Structure 1
Amino acid sequence: MKRELTRLIAAQVCLHMCMAGTRMAAPLLALREGHSPASVGVLLALFALSQVFLSLPAGRFADRHGLRRPVAFAVLAALIGAGSAALWPTFGVLCFAALLTGGATGSATIAVQRQAGFLAGNPTELKQVFGWLAIGPALSNFAGPFAAGLLIDHAGFRTAFAFLALVPLASWWGVHAMAVRKAPEAPVQDGRRSSSWDLLREPPFRRLMVVNWLLSSCWDVHTFLVPVLGHERGLSASAIGTVLGAFALAATGVRVLLPLVAEHVREAVVVTAAMVCTAALFAVYPLAHTAWSMGLLSVLLGFALGAVQPMIMSTLHQITPAHRHGEAIGLRMMAINGSSVLMPLLFGSVGAVLGASGVFWFVGGVVGMASPAAIRLGQGRSRH
């Protein structure tokens, strides 16, 4: 299992690294070419927008074809996307690259997460597998922008995009030799195949989606409002960046620890504790006035929210039928990326009325009130 999991993590890192590097380089090039911040905002939204529409079809495709074919298509799309930016670095092509690299990464992630679930033989191994797998995006979110930045400074944007286009080829090398397990064929009932609405009609899955969406929104709230709150407090850009960096490091750190203690924790307990802690931290966050206090709260919030994804993915694989794991993961990713596109607009509108502090308190209150639902995660599980 360890060797196969390492290959899956490497495949995920290489594709995600392409997107993360492009997501840093493309807006930077657009700004240097004189495009407005509004245009750059649209460009950034395209990385998530493509995943909103592709996640569900990609999940169904993974259910039908396993791992290799989805990853092969994702590698090809990422190669075309970043490669086109290297050849024709215009704003329109950068938007095209954003759509392709974002969609490729999301589609491959669904296939990888689906395959990872088959490596585990029991709930403890599921938590361990998804704990390790969740470290991949954190590594690529550092490696992609770092490598792109070095290449931009020393060789120019074209070279950086060309490098990012070639990195996903390693993803194919990572998965092509794996023994891939396909799920059983989906049963046909009343002359038709099950629809995605059938999954959402199941209370355990619907509860999981609501809890996951709330906690994902908290991640977006923190990322969006910390710069606003820091600006109100008169903090420097480096101090605000350090606060956000502390959050990312804490989220990564807790994911490293989770596989080591997976046998001693329950998914529902971890997620419930994360919701309660998040609500409490959001209540206190607006009262912090220094970089040190905001940094401490950011670390604590990173520990709380960073522990959620492995627990959610472990639960998802236990409450959905094996032949629909890809579809279920696709629905989850569609909801998360839809939230990432829409919620900043909502936060901006609400923040204009309530202020940054008001948004923290409002979202924290909603999460706190919804936390009792998390303790029932996993009830009504089905075996895969």
Structure 2
Amino acid sequence: MTGMLGRPGGRRLLGLLLLHSALTQVVTFVLRPTSAYRAIELDVPAAWLGALTASFAVVPLLLAVPSGQATDRFGERRVMLVGSVLVALSGVVFLTQLGGAAGLVLGSVVLGTGHLFSVVGQQAAVANTAGPGRFDTAFGYYTFAASLGQAIGPALITLLGGSSALPDTRPIFAVATVLGVLLIACTAVLRIPAGEHAGRAAETGGMKTLLRLPGLVRALVISCVVLSAVDITLVYLPALGADRGLAAGLVGVLLTLRAVASMTSRFFLGRLVAWVGRRRLMIVSVALSAAAMAAVAVPMPPAATAVLVVLLGLGLGVGQPLTMSWLAEVAPAGLRGRAMSLRLTGNRLGQVLIPSAVGLVAAGVGAAGVLWATAAALALAGTAARRLATDGPAGT
């Protein structure tokens, strides 16, 4: 067994990277909704709520590619350390509750930037240490850990916030800050093997080399469409439930089933790729997502909807780790940080543009129309996947 899992201490390194990923997402998915609750407590205007939401993504969008360049030049651990410190610092900003709405926006900017640096460093570390033939398994585990963290985060709000409509935010911010300190400690004990950084990157021509990679644009399109489809389900499945008179509890169960199904397909990703091949799995998973998304919008009994949501989750869980492993396979070793940051940039743009475009196309048709339009976007992404070149043993 080659790569991270085959070298001495490789399993410890993988475990720490997965813990780092999970902790990053736990803190992020605790702080973001809790900061919104705090804004409601402060009775801030709607414009400030919009700024609070956007501030998490805007600065990271500008820093995504530079963060990848820093990762390739200075190493993954240093970038992850900066990200961890910023994540912990954001908890302190929220906890002190200084500056009112402006303070919340500042905390969100710091959190978004810390999240970006942490994630870019994590993905580059996985890519640079997994080794050829192990990318799919490693990124499957990595995204599984991230999904687990995203599930645990909101649960902590329920556990710590009390039973009132507006939770007590101070203990939540305090626990998130402590978890941020644990994230710093996790980074401090990481020992990532030295890889190829600035010298190799300079020789290969930097970002121009990446942009010339065959199939890069297709991979980025698939990644951002799949991620946007996940975001759309979070908003429009509840809206569809409201249109159909479904209980909020049932909709919550459907969303949980979607998330668990995605975690399952990610956990077994390496085996699935070994079974059917990377490109074929990409095509099948996107096609399954498109078909399930379209069918979910059709009125049917709740049990049938639940089955379709599970199929939807299984399909949507594959796109992100597969595009990461494909990029890790084709990008030069000294440019993998930049490759991952480029993917994150495309994802951020997709998260802004695709839901807006889908909403315009499906205007007046309701939540079902939005889901049908999203299914059409996924079908187009599946067409792009058919022409995606694959390399190495995992891609055959």
Counterpart AA for 1:169: V
Q: Which moved more, 1:214-223 or 1:330-339?
A: 214-223
Aligned residues: 379
Structure 1 Cα separation of the partners of residues 109 and 89 of structure 2: 11
Partner of 2:71: 62
**Is 1:92 paired with 2:102?**
yes
Which of 3, 16, 19 aligns to 1:10? It is 19
1:116-136 Cα offsets, whole Å, 9 max, x none, are 12222322x111111111112
Change (3 A) 1:40 1:344: farther
Aligned-residue offset at 1:291: 3.3
Aligned-residue offset at 1:20: 0.9
**Is 1:114 paired with 2:124?**
yes
Partner of 1:175: 187
**Is 1:211 paired with 2:226?**
no
Partner of 1:160: 172
Aligned-residue offset at 1:32: 2.8
Aligned-residue offset at 1:187: 5.3
Counterpart AA for 2:108: A
Structure 1 Cα separation of the partners of residues 343 and 201 of structure 2: 22
Change (3 A) 1:162 1:31: same
Aligned-residue offset at 1:10: 0.9
**Is 1:151 paired with 2:160?**
yes
Change (3 A) 1:272 1:152: same
Aligned-residue offset at 1:38: 5.5
1:303-329 Cα offsets, whole Å, 9 max, x none, are 001122221111111111111100010
Q: How does 1:33-48 map to 2 (within 5 A)?
A: 33-36=42-45, 39-48=48-57
Partner of 1:131: 140
SS of the equivalent of 1:167 reads helix
SS of the equivalent of 1:352 reads coil
TM-score, normalised relative to structure 1: 0.90
Which of 229, 233, 256 aligns to 1:222? It is 233
Which of 338, 358, 362 aligns to 1:327? It is 338
Aligned-residue offset at 1:260: 4.4
Change (3 A) 1:147 1:367: closer
Structure 2 Cα separation of the partners of residues 197 and 289 of structure 1: 50
Aligned-residue offset at 1:230: 1.4
Counterpart AA for 1:21: V
Counterpart AA for 1:151: L
Aligned-residue offset at 1:380: 6.5
SS of the equivalent of 1:241 reads helix
Q: What is the aligned-residue RMSD (CA, Å)?
A: 2.5
Which of 359, 371, 383 aligns to 1:360? It is 371
Counterpart AA for 2:30: G
Change (3 A) 1:67 1:172: farther
- Over the matched positions of the two proteins, sequence identity in percent amounts to 25
Which of 115, 123, 126 aligns to 1:105? It is 115
SS of the equivalent of 2:245 reads coil
Contact 2:21 2:145 in 1 (8 A): yes
Contact 1:204 1:380 in 2 (8 A): no
1:59-99 Cα offsets, whole Å, 9 max, x none, are 11111111221122112211221101111252221111111
Partner of 1:75: 84
1:8-42 Cα offsets, whole Å, 9 max, x none, are 11112222221110012111121233235564344
Change (3 A) 1:139 1:128: same
Partner of 1:374: 385
- Long gaps (5+) in structure 2: 1-9
Partner of 1:51: 60
Q: How does 1:189-208 map to 2 (within 5 A)?
A: 194=205, 196-208=207-219
**Is 1:350 paired with 2:351?**
no
Partner of 2:32: 23
Change (3 A) 1:146 1:365: closer
Counterpart AA for 1:179: I
Counterpart AA for 1:170: L
- Long gaps (5+) in structure 1: none
Change (3 A) 1:274 1:38: farther
Q: How does 1:277-356 map to 2 (within 5 A)?
A: 277-356=288-367
Structure 1 Cα separation of the partners of residues 201 and 138 of structure 2: 28
Structure 2 Cα separation of the partners of residues 8 and 188 of structure 1: 27
Q: Which moved more, 1:83-92 or 1:318-327?
A: 83-92
Structure 2 Cα separation of the partners of residues 258 and 271 of structure 1: 11
SS of the equivalent of 2:196 reads coil
Aligned-residue offset at 1:53: 1.8
Aligned-residue offset at 1:350: 3.3
Change (3 A) 1:50 1:140: farther
Counterpart AA for 2:26: M
TM-score, normalised relative to structure 2: 0.87
Partner of 2:247: 236
Change (3 A) 1:187 1:370: closer
Change (3 A) 1:221 1:120: same
Change (3 A) 1:179 1:356: closer
Contact 1:18 1:101 in 2 (8 A): no
1:211-234 Cα offsets, whole Å, 9 max, x none, are 222222222232232122111111
